Structure 1
Amino acid sequence: MAIGNHASSSTPPSQSSPIHIRDTPYDAQPQPAFNYHSLDGQDPSICIDNGAHSWRAGFSSTASPYIDRTNLIARYKDRKHGNNVLVFGQDVEADSNSRSNARTMFDGDLLTQADLLECALDYTFCKLGIDTPKIETPVVMTERLANPLFSRALTSELLFELYNAPAVTYGIDSLFAFSRQRHDDGLAINLGHQSSTIIPILGGKSIPSRAKRIPWGGAHASELMLKLAQLKYPSFPVKVTPAQASFMYRETCYFATDYDEELRSLADPDKLSAMTKIVQFPFAKPEVSEKTEAELAAALERRKEQGRRLQEMQAKQRAEKLAAKMAELEEYRLLLSERPTMKKAEFVSRLVETTPFETEAELDAWIKRTEIEIRKKQRKDLGMDEEPEEEPSFPLVDRPDSELTEDEVKEKRRQRLMKAGWEARVKLREEKRKEKARLEEEKRREQEERETNLMGWTLKLKDEQEAVMLRIQERKKLRAQLGDRKSAASQSRMKSIANLAAEEKTTKKRKKGEDDDGFGQNDSDWAVYREIGGDDESDAEEDDQALLESIETRLLQYDPAFTEEQTMLGRAEAKNKLINAFVRGGSDGKFDPEDVEQSHQLHLNVERVRVPETWFQPSMFGVDSAGVGEIAGWVLNGFEEEERKRLMQCIFVTGGAANIPNLIPKLRSVLTPILPFRAPLKIVSSLDGGDPRLEAWRGMAEWSVTEEAKGARVTRQEYDEFGGEWLKEHSWGNVPP
C-alpha cells in the first residue's frame, strides 16, 4: 500500500469557490531573528537546503527549518531615498523595482552566481541570530547531482574565507530525504524545480553512476501554465506574473492516472465544467450607485411609454401620408372630370401648369396606380388579402401605326410595354403554379418512399443534410480566408485581378459593329466577377439554409433516431457549450464583460492535467527526453532480478511537485506495465504524511548528528590543503573526484 499524503482517486473533486491570488505575496510582518544563544550546551549544525526554487535553513536541533523562502534575490538602488536595497525571498514581489531586479544564483540548476549566494548566506546567518565574528558551528548544504567542481568551490570559498566556518559537508537533497525512510535499498525520485533526478540506492549507498536526470521541473511547468493561460485569455486585463502562474500550477493541478482517457472524458461539457477551478485575481471594484426597485420600475415604464409613443407617431405618419395621397387623388380626379368641358389644347395647357404630367394618358395611368396602391394599404390595415389582379386591355397594340395619331402612337408604345409586363407576370404565375405542382408531386413521391422504405429515405436525407452543411461551412471558411490577405483564396483573387488588368491594357476598345467576344454567356464567366468581388453568394446560402431546415424538420418528424442534437443548430450548441465550459467553466450565468470580478477570473480545467503530464511525457512540449516513469522503469530493469526486487520495495518520491495530488497512483500505473509481471511494488512519499518539500532538510538535520556525518566533514585545514573542490565520500553525497 502506498504511503503518502495523496488520495488515490482518479479525478479530485472540483473546488466550487474561487481560489484567490494573494495581492501581497510578500511577508507583511518581518520574521524575527532566531535566539542563537538558546542553543548553549547543544552541538547543532547549520543545515541549508539550497534548492533552485526554495532556500531552507535552520539548526539541526529544530524540527523544521527556521527559514523557508523563495530562492530569489533583488539588489537595486532606491533613487527616491538614495539607499541600496537588498531583498531576499518572496519579498521581491513587494514592488515593481524589486520584481524587475529579481535574480537567482542558479543557471538552470547549476550554481553560478557567488555574489547572490553571499547575499543569501548573509540573510541566513542574520536571521539565525549568529552575532559572533565567525561561524562556530559546522554547515551542511545540499548540492545537485554530479555537481561540477567549480560550483562546489564557489560555496566552499565563501563559507571558509568569508564566514570562517569550521567544517562543511555536501550531499544530494533527494538522498538526504531518502535517508529518513530507514531503507538500505530503493529508488530516490526527485521532482525538482529545474530538473528531475532518479538515483538508485543499494546496501545503504547511492549509485550515482546509474542515476538519470530529466531536464524538466517545476519552473518549466509554471512557465507552461503561464503560456496556456495567456493563450486561453489573450485579453486578460492584468499581467499574470511567473509567481502567480507557479501558484496556480501548485494549487490546481493533479496527475491523471490515464491521461488519454481523462482527455476523452473531458469532451463532455458537464464533466469539463465539473472539474473547472476558478482563479480569482485581485481587482478594484468601481463604485456604482445601485437603483432601487421603484426607480428600476419607473425606468421600465418610461421605456414602454416611449415605445408606445413611437408606434403612435409611426401610425399617425402613415395615416397622414395616406390622407395626403387620397387628397391628391381626389384633386386629379376632379381635374380629369372637367375634361369634357374644355378643349384639348386648353386641357393640356392646364395639365402641364398644375400637375407634373404632360399628357392625359400619364394622368390616367397615375390615377389607376394610385387607386390600386390605396386599396392595398387599406386592405392591409384591415388585415384582408390582396385583390386579384384584373386582366388589362391594350386596344392600340394590334392597330397599325398608320391608323393612329401621334399621341396614340406614343400611347401604343406605352401599352406595348405594359402588355409585356403583364405577360411576364402571367408567365411567372404559371411557372410558380407548375413549380408548386412539381413540389406537390415530389412530396407525394417522398411520402410514398417514406412509407415503403423509411430507412433508405432517412439515409438519403441525412446524406443530403451533410452535403448542405458542408456547403455552408465551406462558404464560411471562404469568407474567413478572403479576409486574410495571406490566404490562398485571397492570393488567387489578387491573381485574377492582376490578369484582368493586364488584359485590359493590351485589349483595344471595340468599335461599334465589331464582333462580340461572347463573354458573359456562360456561368463560369460571371464566376470571375464573384471571385474578384468576394461575393458571399447570399442567395445560395439562403436557399441552403431553407433546404437544411426543411430536411431537419422532416427527419425530426419521421425518424425516431434523429434528435435535436444531430441538427446543425444542435451541433453548434454542443460545440458552443464545450467552448463555454473550456473558457468560462460552463457557468449557468451569462458572462458579463462589464463585470470586473468576472473579467479578472481564469477558469482552469484541461490545464490541470496537461501541465503535470509533462513529467511523464516531456516530448509533448518539445523536450527530447523520456518521462519520469519510463526512465525509472529503465533504471530498475538495469539491475539483476534480486536487486530489482529490493529496489522496488522503496521507490521514494520527493520534491515540490510531489505535493501534486494523484502522483503515486500515476507513477504506479506507468511502472506496472514496464516492470516484471506481478512484481511487488511499493511507492512512498513523505514520512508520516508530512510535506515532501521539507523532507530533504529534515533528512539532512537527522543525518548531521550521526558519526558518518561527522566523518564526512571537510574542515578548514583540509580546505587549505586540498582546495575548494575537495570532497569526502559518504552514503548520500556525490562521488568525490
Structure 2
Amino acid sequence: MNGSSNSHASSSSSPSRTNIVYIPEAGYDAQPQPAFDYHSLDGQDPSICIDNGAHSWRAGFSSMNTPYIDRPNITARYKERKFGRNLLLFGRDTEVDANSRSNIRSMFDGDLLIHSDLLECALDFTFCTLGIDSSKIEQPVVMTERLANPLFSRAMTSELLFELYNAPSVTFGIDSLFAFSRQKHQDGLAVSLGHQASTVIPILNGKGIMSRAKRIPWGGANASELMLKLAQLKYPSFPTKVTPSQATFMFRETCYFSTDYDEDLRSLADPAKLSEMTKVVQFPFTAPEVNEKTEAELAAAAERRREQGKRLQEMQARQRAEKLAKKMADLEEHKLIQSERPQYKKAEFIARLREMTDFDNEADLDAYIKRTEAEIRKKQRKDLGMEEEPEEEPSFPLVDRPDSDLTEEEIKEKRRQRLMKAGWEARVRAREEKKKERARVEEEKRLEEEERTTNLSGWSLRLKEEQEAVIARIQERKKRKAQLGDRKSAAAQNRMKNIASLAAEEKSSTSKKRKKGEDDDGFGMDDSDWHVYREIGGDEESEAEEDDQQLLDSLESRLLQYDPSFNEEQTLVGRAEAKNKLINAFVRGGLPPGEKFDCEDIRLNHQLHLNVERIRVPETWFQPSMWGIDSAGLGEVAGWVLDGFEEEERRRLMQCIFITGGGANIPNLIPKMRNVLTPILPFRAPLKIVSSLDGGDPRLEAWKGMAEWSSTAEAKEARVTRAEYEEYGGEWLKEHRWGNVPP
C-alpha cells in the first residue's frame, strides 16, 4: 500500500470507534468568504454590530439573524518572499502556511485591547467583507468591550471609527450584558466564560450593578494552555508539535464538567473505567510507502527460513560427528602406541613416545587415553539420551609410598597424584556438604510443613511479613539506584566522597616510599576492608538483589500454594501489573478490544489519549487554586455575589442565572453550576440556570443581543455621535443599561 498525505484516509482502516476525534488537517478556509451584497440593504437602516472578543471576531448587520463574519480574532501581516508582496490575513486564513503561522498576532494582551494597528486590520477586513465600498461608514456602529474597560482602549477604538472610517456614531456595551438582554427577566446574573477571563455581573431591575460585579482571571485561553501542557507532560516524545490552536480544538471537543469531581477521580483508579472514558485524538500524519508482500511470497520466505534452520542444525550435527570421529581416531593412534610398549625397552619407548606424541612419560599417555575414552562415552550416551555414568573412584598408588623407594620419574608422578587426590577429596567433601545441606533443607521443610498444618494463619502471617520486608528492601534498592543516577542526590554525593577519599589515600601512599622495616598498615587483610569497594562497584548490591529475588519467589510460591486468601494480585509481579494496567490505561486507553499498541504503527504514534484531562481542565473554573491561580472558583464567586443582596432580591436574581461565552458550550456546565450553588444558597430556594434563549450556540448570544438592542430607542439615545466625539474626546461614553458606568 502506498503512503498518502491524507492521514484520515489512511486511518480509516482502523476499527470503527465513537471515542476518536480527528484533528483538522487545515485550519484555514479553502474558499474565501464572498463579500456581502451591501446594496441589498436599500430602504433599511441597520447598525453594524461587532463583537470584539479576545478569541473570536463576530460582525454583521443588525438585520441579520447570525453574524456574517465569525472568525478567530488573530491577524498575520508579513511580506511574502516569493513575489515580494505585503500580505494581510485575518482569522483562519492565518493558518495557510508556515510564514503566516509564525506571524500570527492578537490585538489583545490578555484581556486588554492595546494594538490599534491590528484592530485597524480587523476593521478593514470587516467593512470590505460586508461590502462597504464607500469612503465613509453610513451605519451606526455597536461594539462590545470588556467589563471595566480602560479609557485608553475605548478612546483608541473611537478614534479609529471616527477619524479613519467617518462613522456617524459609536456605542459600546459589555458582551455578557448584551447576551442577557435577550432574556425576558429584569433580574438575574450574567455569567460569562470568556477567552481570557470570566465575569459575574448581577442585573437588578433591568440594569447591571457594576459595583457588585466580579472577575476571575481564568478563561478558555488558560484552559487551552493547560491542555497543551498536560499533553506535553503526558507525551514528551510525541512526533509532532501540538500547536495552541490544536490544543484549543482538543479542549473544546473532548472536555466536559464533572458534576462530582472528587468522586470521579476516585473511580478512575479502576483501569477499565479509565479506558472507558478515554478520548483518542488522532493527529494528521503521512504514512510511509510500504510494499506489501503477497501470501505466496510470505509463505516462500517462511519456507526459506525453515530450510535455513534445518541446514544449520544438520551442519552442527555433522560438525559434532566429525569432531567425535577425529577424537576416536586420535584415541586409536594413542592406543596403538600404547600397545607397542612390550616391544621396546623403557628408555626406547619413552623416546618413541616423545617423538610420536606430546607426552613425556607413560603415565601421561595412560591418563590421556582414560580421559578421552570417558569423554567419548559421555558424548555417545548424551547423543542417545542416556544418563551420565557415575564417576569412578580413582586410585593413587604412589601417594602413600615414601620418596626413598621411588625413582625421580615416580616422585614427579607422586606429586601429580597428590594434587589429583586433593581435588578428588575436595569434590567428595563438596558432595557431602551438598547432602548435608539437602538434609537441612528437608528438615526445615518438615518443620515448616508441621507449622503450616497446625497453625496455617500464623504461618501465613509470618510469610507475609517476610514478603513485605523483602519487597521493601527491593524497592529501597531501586530507589537508591535511581538516586545514584542523579549526581545531585545525597547517595551520589556520598559515593563521590568515598571515591575522592580513596584517591587521596592512594596518592598519599604512593608519594611516600615506605622505609625499610616500616610495617604495612594491613589494609585488605580483613574482608570488611573491601566493603567500600563493593559499595562503589555495586557487586554487593547485585548479589543481595539476586538473593532477595530468590527468597521472594519462594515465599510467594508457598503462599499461593497453601494460603487461599493470597492471590496473584498480592505478589510483587501482580502489584506491578496492576500499576502497569493503570498506567497503560492512562497513556494508551481507549483502544478497541483486542487491539494492542504497536510502537511501529505510525497511526498509533500520532494519537493522544485523553481521560483525566477531560475533567481536570474544565474543573479549573471552579477550583483555580489547583493550577496556582489565587482566586475563588466560579460557583463560589457567583454565590458570594448573590449573598450580597437582600433575601427578596436574591430570590429574583436566582430565577435567571444566564451563562454565556465560549466556555458555556462545554457539556455538563449547568448541572455542575447547580451542584455547586445549591449547598451555598438558602435551603430549597428556587434556582434557574440557562445558557441560550433559543437553544443555539451560547457564543453568539452577545452578538444576537446587541443586534436586537441596537434598533431600540434606548440604543439610539446611547449613541456617541461624531460631534460629541469632537467635543468631549474618545473617552466619552453615554450610560445605558448594558454598558460600563462612565467615570
Would you say same fold, with TM above 0.5? Answer: yes
Equivalent residue runs for 1:24-423 within 5 Å: 24-423=26-425
Partner Cα distance (1:707, 1:162) in 2 = 27
In the aligned structure 2, how far is the partner of 1:200 from the partner of 1:598? 49
* Range that drifts further, 508-517 or 105-114: 508-517
2:546 to 538, 542, 547: 542
* 3-state SS in 2 of match to 1:32: coil
Give the AA of the match of 1:710.
Answer: K
After alignment, is 155-164 or 29-38 more displaced? 29-38
Residue ranges of structure 2 left out of the alignment (5+ in a row):
1-15
State yes or no: 1:530 paired with 2:531: no
User: Could you tell which deviates more after superposition, 597-606 or 362-371?
Assistant: 362-371
- Structure 1 counterpart of 2:603: 597
- Name the residue aligned to 1:718: 724
Aligned residues: 724
> CA 1:521/1:669 → structure 2, altered by over 3 Å: closer, same or farther?
farther
Report the CA distance shift for 1:693/1:268 in structure 2 as closer, same or farther (over 3 A): same
**Is the 1:191–1:657 contact (alpha carbons within 8 Å) kept by the matching residues of 2?**
yes
Decide which moves more: 280-289 or 697-706.
Answer: 280-289
1:707 pairs, out of 701, 713, 716, with: 713
What is the CA–CA distance in structure 1 between the aligned matches of 2:677 and 2:118, rounded to whole Å? Answer: 40
Q: Which of 663, 669, 682 is the matching residue for 1:676?
A: 682
Partner deviation per Cα, 1:142-170 (whole Å, 9 max, x = no partner): 00110000000000000011111111111
Tell me if structure 1 keeps the 8 A contact 2:280–2:590: no
1:623 maps to 629
Contact 1:165 1:716 in 2 (8 A): yes
Partner of residue 428 from structure 2, selected from 426, 429, 434? 426
Quickly say closer, same or farther: Cα 1:224–1:522, change in 2 above 3 A: farther
Q: What pairs with 1:626-645 in structure 2 (closer than 5 Å)?
A: 626-645=632-651
Distance of 1:556 and 1:226 partners within structure 2: 46
Q: Is the 8 A contact 1:577 1:586 kept in 2?
A: no
Would you say the 8 A contact 2:279–2:590 is kept in 1? Answer: no
1:658 aligns with 664
CA distance in structure 2 between the aligned counterparts of 1:577 and 1:472, rounded to whole angstroms: 21
Percent identity reads 79
Q: Which residue of 1 aligns with 2:13?
A: none
1:520, distance to aligned residue in structure 2 (A): 4.1
Question: Contact conserved, 2:19 with 2:590, CA < 8 A, in 1?
Answer: no
Counterpart of 1:9 in structure 2 is none
Give the C-alpha shift of residue 669 in structure 1. 1.8
The farther-off stretch of 531-540 and 311-320 is 531-540
* Contact in 2 for aligned 1:15/1:277 (Cα 8 Å): no
Cα RMSD of the aligned pairs, angstroms, is 2.0
Q: How far is the alpha carbon of 1:537 from its aligned partner?
A: 4.1
Residues 19 and 278, structure 2, Cα contact 8 Å, conserved in 1: no
The amino acid that maps onto 2:476 is E
TM-score by length of structure 1 reads: 0.94
Q: Is 1:565 equivalent to 2:569 in the alignment?
A: yes
Please state how far the C-alpha of 1:434 moved relative to its aligned partner.
Answer: 1.4
**Structure 1: distance between partners of 2:699 and 2:528:** 72
* Equivalent residue for 1:698, pick from 687, 704, 707: 704
- Mark the CA change 1:362 to 1:118 in structure 2 (over 3 Å): closer, same or farther: same
**Structure 2 counterpart of 1:579, from 570, 580, 583:** 583
Post-superposition offset of 1:453: 1.5
Residue 47 of structure 1: SS of its match in structure 2? strand
CA offset at residue 658 of structure 1? 0.9
Do the aligned partners of residues 620 and 297 (structure 1) sit closer, same or farther apart at CA in structure 2, a change above 3 Å counting?
Answer: same
Q: Gaps (5+ residues) in structure 1?
A: 1-13
The 8 Å contact of residues 69 and 126 in structure 2, kept in 1 or not, is answered as yes
Partner of residue 612, structure 2? 606
Relative distance call for 1:304 and 1:536 in structure 2 (3 A) is farther
Deviates more, 1:61-70 or 1:454-463: 454-463
Q: Partners of 2:338 and 2:484 in 1: how far apart?
A: 59
Contact 1:139 1:169 in 2 (8 A): yes
Moved more, 461-470 or 115-124: 461-470
TM-score relative to the length of structure 2:
0.94
Displacement after TM superposition at 1:247 (Å):
0.5
Return the offset for 1:403: 3.2
**What are the equivalent positions in structure 2 for 1:451-490 lying under 5 Å apart?**
451-490=453-492
Decide whether aligned partners of structure 1 residues 467 and 340 sit closer, same or farther in structure 2, where only a CA change above 3 A counts: farther
**Quick one: structure 1 residues 202 and 592, their matched pair in 2 at CA, closer, same or farther if it must change by over 3 Å?**
same
152-161 vs 27-36, greater mean Cα deviation:
27-36
Equivalent residues of 1:190, 1:653 under 8 A apart: yes
Tell me the residue number matched to 1:4.
none
Aligned-residue offset at 1:446: 1.4
What SS class does the counterpart of residue 181 from structure 2 fall into? helix
**Contact 2:535-2:541 within 8 A present in 1 as well:** no
| Shift in Å, 1:516 | 5.7
Letter in 1 for 2:569: E
Contact (CA 8 Å) 2:76, 2:101: kept in 1 or not? yes
The change in CA–CA distance for 1:406 and 1:674 in structure 2 (over 3 A counts) is farther
Structure 1 position 517, deviation (Å): 4.4
1:688 counterpart = 2:690: no
User: Retained in 2: the 8 A contact 1:179–1:699?
Assistant: yes
